[in-house]
Amino acid sequence: MTEPISPLEPARLAWREGAPYSESFADIYYHPAAGRHEVEHVFIAGNRLRERWAGACGDFAIGETGFGTGLNFLVAAELWLAQTAAPAVLHYLSVEKHPLLHADLVQVLVRRGDHSALATQLLAAWPPPLPGAHRLPLASGRIQLTLLFGDAAQGFAAARCAQRPGFETDASRGIDAWFLDGFAPARNPGMWTAELFAQLAALSRPGTSFATFTAAGAVRRGLAAAGFEVERAAGHGAKREMLRGQFAGQIAADAESAAVTATGRHHRHGETPWDLGAGWHRGAPKIAAVVGAGIAGCTSARALAERGWRVRVFDRDGIAAGASGNPQGIVYPRLAAADSAFARINLAALLYARHFYRPHWDAGLGADGGVLMLPGDPDEAVQLRQLVARFPAEVARLLEGEALTAAAGVELDARCGLLLPGLGWLQPAAVCRALLEHPAIAFAPATITGWSQTPEGWQLHAGDRRQPEIFPVVVLATAADLRHFEATAHLPLRTLQGQVSTLPATAASARLRLPVCGEGYLAPALDGRHSLGATYRPDATALGVDAAGHCDNLGKIRTTDAALAAALGQPDPNALDGRAGLRCVTPDYLPLVGPAPQLEEFLEALAPLRRDARTALPHTGRHWPGLYLNAGHGSRGLAYAPLCAALLADLIEGRPRPLARDLVRALSPARFLVRDLQRRRR
């Protein structure tokens, strides 16, 4: 049985003579009069970042032990923006076991006088103290901040592309510079262990630099044992010495063993890295094709364009012609308290989506007043209360009585409801069009029927014609149409026909302020009309709208809340308008995100899994080079798509991912082939 998700213990912040002070570790975060100067001396100069970034046109990755108040990050990120030009991206990966609460971060920034645009964005995107990875895209995507909340060694272990040593360099370009900035070793020894140093080495490549304020002998010896070349340098201010150096390029045997220990696994060689594809070759041009212009395809195109890719999007029916063309869509992940892959992915999607859609809500393409979940019976009411007990109020909040009525804006029969703040509804087609409004993205109304592999990449076929351009990377975001391509026909996808209904608002229903979800959903009126739905017709292929579907949708609203249904009056199902689309779902109801497996070659390479499901093979699976998938989002495309697009861009470029390794594997398109092999079904 899985343990429930629980918030971390936040930092216990105090102030001593104007300095932010950690009561947990009895140490200050920085000296108020010299904090920025110390960052410049120790971490910027210690890693020679000014020289390395002068005229830089490529991406760069910084890893940090201890995010603290974000001072190191803000100094480095502002320097990056000042010294480099778009589309170069700074990837910043930082761990923090006791993150500051939002109110404390506000206080720190105010006292520090840090009112920069970047600090304001950081504050607006600051996540709650929940364990796991939190991705914060800042500065129009030029800064990709990934916060790992939890134990440092375990967090970096989960950030690796593979548990087996040696595979990081095959699928990732690794970290370019380390900021080692935990509290002093005597105050916080857990941030200076052999296990942690081993994880740093596993995420490094030859020449990766490091710098740290401490010159403690145990730290120097620990870094050297992990494979780093270490030298002493002049410290800042009254501190006589500091350490700096670089990774020599090989992980020592003892460090490799320590890295495996940090993962919590007893098997020396970890797990088979079956999910890793070859990735994009750094020497190839940054040109990609995205097939499919729904929300999955449009978010994928935008994520790549903001990383400097030139993207061409293809769709036979136009932008948002499928399920993404509904008049209103609800950003509605499936929140759960259990610590399962499904629950953790949905939580990450929730936190990412509410920040991602902020510009679209600000542009009037929907409303972010929250989403209200109503229980269907007393047992579900108990479950909602259990959810609230596990999450901060900024994630989930229980409403009762007058507070429930005030939030909804209409009278409800329900006695309690769960509010998900920061979410809401959107006009999906308008959002898709806005996402494609980027100078690096071009749309073409073409039917892609297949492709040919060339030494330089893929040539797409549009009917009996071939596109003249060669694409090193192709992303298939065609939902159920993946079954029509030979390379992806083996994927276990199902289609569900979903019909939504639209009807005029009444005087009573027009007061609805936010989407209400239960057995069905009802969105606030847009231009005087509500959207409600939706039907689920398995394996349907027709897209006709009928009165039976409208009756089904109205019945779901009555089941959700009779008073809410009464506010709609007594609409005639035969007189309603609506729209139908096909949703594509997987057996585990999680999307497919990652490289596309080559069926026969994949099964042959991993055939030993039939004999021993837990064997650790010394090679990856077999995938089509440069061919990626982003599909299977079901009815939660608006919620899943932004996070999945960010993950996809990171997988293609080999950069730090917005999810832990086990969650990346839980989304891999190859997971069903692996399960079939392990269960001897193939």
444 membership: H or E segment, kind and range: strand 441-444
Strand partners, 202: none
Confidence of residue 1 (pLDDT cuts 50, 70, 90): very low
pLDDT of 171 = 43
Q: Which residues have C-beta within 8 Å of that of residue 495, sequence separation ≥ 6? A: 480, 538, 539, 540, 541, 582, 583, 584, 585
| Cα 437–chain centre separation | 22
CATH of the domain at 518: 3.30.9.10
Q: Is position 469 within any domain? A: yes
Which contacts (CB < 8 Å, 24+ apart) does range 373-377 have?
A: 373/417, 373/418, 373/419, 373/420, 373/517, 373/518, 374/412, 374/414, 374/417, 374/516, 374/517, 374/518, 374/560, 374/561, 375/414, 375/416, 375/417, 375/518, 376/518, 376/519, 376/559, 376/560
Number of domains in the chain: 3
Q: Which two tokens stand for residue 394?
A: 């900024």
- pTM of the predicted model as reported, rounded to 2 decimal places: 0.95
Do 68 and 32 sit in the same domain of this protein? yes
Please give the structure tokens belonging to residue 240.
Answer: 């006589």
Q: Based on the fold, state whether residues 507 and 644 are members of the same structural domain.
A: no
Strand order in the sheet with 204-212: 132-138, 143-149, 90-96, 60-65, 175-180, 204-212, 241-247, 228-234
Angle subtended at Cα 161 by Cα 157 and Cα 165, rounded to the nearest 5 degrees: 75
514 and 547 in one domain?
A: yes
Q: Within a domain: residue 330?
A: no
Is residue 578 located within the same domain as residue 645? no
- Whether 416 has a pLDDT exceeding 90, the answer reads yes
What gap in Å lies between CA 8 and CA 36, rounded to an integer? 28
**Pair 308, 389 in one domain:** no
Question: How large is the average pLDDT for residues 499-525?
Answer: 96
Whether the pLDDT of residue 498 is over 50: the answer is yes
For the chain, what is the mean pLDDT?
92
Amino acid at 178: W
Out of 169-178, 301-310, 428-437, 556-565, pick the least confident: 169-178
Does residue 22 lie within any of the structural domains?
Answer: yes
Q: Are the beta carbons of 613 and 274 closer than 8 angstroms?
A: no
One domain, residues 536 and 644: no
CB of 346 closer than 8 Å to CB of 334: yes
Tokens of 661: 């390794």
Nearest to 561 by CA among 424, 410, 422, 420: 410
Domain span at 311: 287-321+430-492+596-606+623-659
pLDDT tops 90 at residue 324:
no
What does each C-alpha distance from 127 to 93, 218, 327 come to in angstroms? 15, 34, 30
Average pLDDT for 315-342:
90
671: which DSSP letter? H
145 DSSP β-pair partners: 92, 136
**Is the per-residue pLDDT at 432 higher than 80?**
yes
**618 is a domain residue:** no
Alpha helices in 391-526 (DSSP H): 401-408, 428-435
257 pLDDT above the threshold of 80: no
Give the lowest-confidence range in 101-105, 147-151, 234-238, 263-267: 263-267
Same structural domain for residues 93 and 123? Answer: yes
The H or E element spanning position 594 is strand 592-597
Quick one: 135 and 253 in the same domain? yes
Is the same domain home to 68 and 185?
A: yes
Nearest-5° Cα angle at 321, 315 to 327: 155
Could you tell me the CATH number of the domain that includes residue 487? 3.50.50.60
pLDDT tens readout for residues 438-447: 999 999 999 9
Beta bridge partners of 537: 497
* Confidence grade of residue 50 (pLDDT, cut at 50, 70, 90): very high
Is pLDDT at 101 greater than 80 in this prediction?
yes
Mean pLDDT on 598-604: 96
Residue 169 has a pLDDT of 46
Q: Is 35 helix (H, G, I), strand (E, B) or coil?
A: helix
Q: Which residue would you say has higher pLDDT here, 448 or 4?
A: 448
Asked whether residue 337 carries a pLDDT value surpassing 90, the answer given is no
Whether the predicted pLDDT of 542 surpasses 80: no
Cα-Cα-Cα-Cα dihedral sign, residues 360, 364, 370, 376: negative
Q: Which range (54-63, 277-286, 389-398, 574-583) has the least confidence?
A: 277-286
What does the pLDDT look like over 214-252, one tens digit per residue? 999 999 999 999 999 999 999 998 889 999 999 998 776
Is 166 or 611 the better-scoring residue by pLDDT?
611
Contact predicate 269/614, CB 8 Å: no
Q: Tokens 């996540």 sit at which residue?
A: 127
251/292 same-domain check: no
Tokens of 461: 């076929």
User: In degrees rounded to 5, what are phi and psi of residue 674?
Assistant: -65, -45
pLDDT-wise least confident of 118-122, 235-239, 300-304:
235-239
Q: Look up tokens 């390395």; give the residue.
A: 52
pLDDT in the model for residue 268: 43
Q: Residues with Cβ < 8 Å from 269, sequence gap 6 or more?
A: 164, 260, 616, 618
The answer as to whether 275 is a domain residue is no
Residues 486 and 539 reside in one and the same domain = no
CA torsion through residues 360, 88, 476, 676, sign: negative
Q: What is the mean pLDDT of residues 520-540?
A: 90
CATH number at residue 100: 3.40.50.150
The Cα–Cα gap between 525 and 527 comes to 6
The percentage of the chain sitting over the pLDDT mark of 90, rounded to a whole number, equals: 80
88, 94, 99, 105 alpha-carbon torsion, rounded to 10°: -30
Mean pLDDT, to the nearest integer, of 39-64? 93
Residue 57 has pLDDT above 60, yes or no: yes
- Overall average pLDDT of the 485-501 stretch: 93
Residue 195 lies in a domain: yes
377 found inside a domain? yes
pLDDT at 424 over 60: yes
Residue closest to 241 by CA, chosen among 252, 230, 232 = 232
pLDDT band at 162 (very low <50, low <70, confident <90, very high): confident
Average pLDDT over residues 25-46: 94
- Residue 174 located in a structural domain: yes
Residue 269 has pLDDT above 60, yes or no: no
Q: Do 300 and 175 belong together in one domain?
A: no
3-state class of 231 per DSSP? strand
